[in-house]
A = this chain, B = another copy of it.
Amino acid sequence: MTLNQLRAFLMVATLGTFSAAAVELQMTQPSISELIKRMEETYGLKLFARGSRRLVLTPAGEGLLPYARQAVDAAAGADRALRSLSSLSGGVATFGLLRNANYYFLSELLEKFNERYPLVRLRIIGLNSVEVAEAVSAGELEAGLVVLPIDSAGLDVTPLMRDEVLYVSASSSRASAPVTISDLAAANLILYDAHYGWRDPTRRQLAERAQLEGCTLSAQIEVEHVETALSIVAGGAGDTIVSRAVTTSKGFPEGLFTTTFADPLYDTIAMVQRTGSVLSPATREIARLARRMLLERMP
């Protein structure tokens, strides 16, 4: 005897069909069927008479009805009580996200959170991982998602997933084989995140590699937005680098070629929060959602 079983029973008794109850409970008809069946098997009696017509309560079902109603109502009350007591019933959840979040799951995350906690307002901060990391470190944000590497002083960092960084060009020849750092140094690079320049984590990784090779990277053109950079690349003025998630998104221009790095390069996405801090319920919840949705996307 579980609450789900009682809920299903009640809804079926109210609406008269399994299918309608399934829609109402946001489940599928076979699930309803199974819940009812299990309850019937548990007690060895039928709750509904499955006639050709519509479902009719058996005497046993009739006897169960008032108790089911009471239990489900009480559980709904319990849920309401807890929900209103938790701070998820108000206030503002503040969370930092890396710039690329659009390409991963941002809108879905916000929709899901808002659906579950409609009373909580959301403030999503973050033009770039650098900014997010600094804000979290300073305590302005409780938590956020960033791309590594970052300056991790005063932060708890939990890597969650990684996404490969690709080289993007309008010329098939320049993207015909994995590129090396020296290829990169020789290329016309169209880079974005002008505001943060070489403090950007992905760029930092590249700069470190270049340093080891004894060469220098510099941007031919720097803009703020990835989309702008990609448009320029599509025009043939130069090449750029983006993570794979960007290349598979809808907005990715036609006619661009991609290739990997000879020594594969990855953006590692991590959750950061202030060392030793306790997250507010709302923030914890959105962090939990974000982590789960990211992990679901792991290859």
State how many angstroms separate the Cβ of A15 from the closest Cβ of chain B: 17
Asked if A85 and B57 sit within 8 Å, CB to CB, the answer is: no
State how many angstroms separate the Cβ of A34 from the closest Cβ of chain B: 16
Asked if B274 and A43 sit within 8 Å, CB to CB, the answer is: no
A78 within 8 A of B: yes
State how many angstroms separate the Cβ of A165 from the closest Cβ of chain B: 32
Q: Is the interface of A mostly helix, strand, loop or mixed?
A: helix
Contact of A82 among B63, B75, B83, B92 (CB under 8 A): B63
12 A-B pairs within 8 Å (CB atoms) are namely A3-B75, A42-B82, A43-B88, A44-B86, A49-B140, A57-B139, A57-B140, A58-B142, A67-B78, A68-B74, A70-B70, A74-B74
CB proximity to B under 8 Å, residues A47-94: 48-51, 53, 56-60, 62-64, 67-68, 70-71, 74-75, 77-79, 81-83, 85-88, 91-92, 94
Contact of A83 among B43, B56, B140 (CB under 8 A): B43
Asked if B59 and A141 sit within 8 Å, CB to CB, the answer is: yes
A243 to B57, CA, bound (A): 34
Q: Which of A45, A88, A141, A282 has the most CB of B within 10 A?
A: A45
Asked if A274 and B49 sit within 8 Å, CB to CB, the answer is: yes
CB proximity to B under 8 Å, residues A1-56: 1-4, 6, 42-46, 48-51, 53, 56
Asked if A81 and B67 sit within 8 Å, CB to CB, the answer is: yes
* Given known contacts A75-B6, A77-B70, A82 and B59 CB-to-CB distance under 8 angstroms: no
A280 to B47, CA, bound (A): 12
Asked if A1 and B86 sit within 8 Å, CB to CB, the answer is: no
CB proximity to B under 8 Å, residues A109-160: 123, 137-142, 154
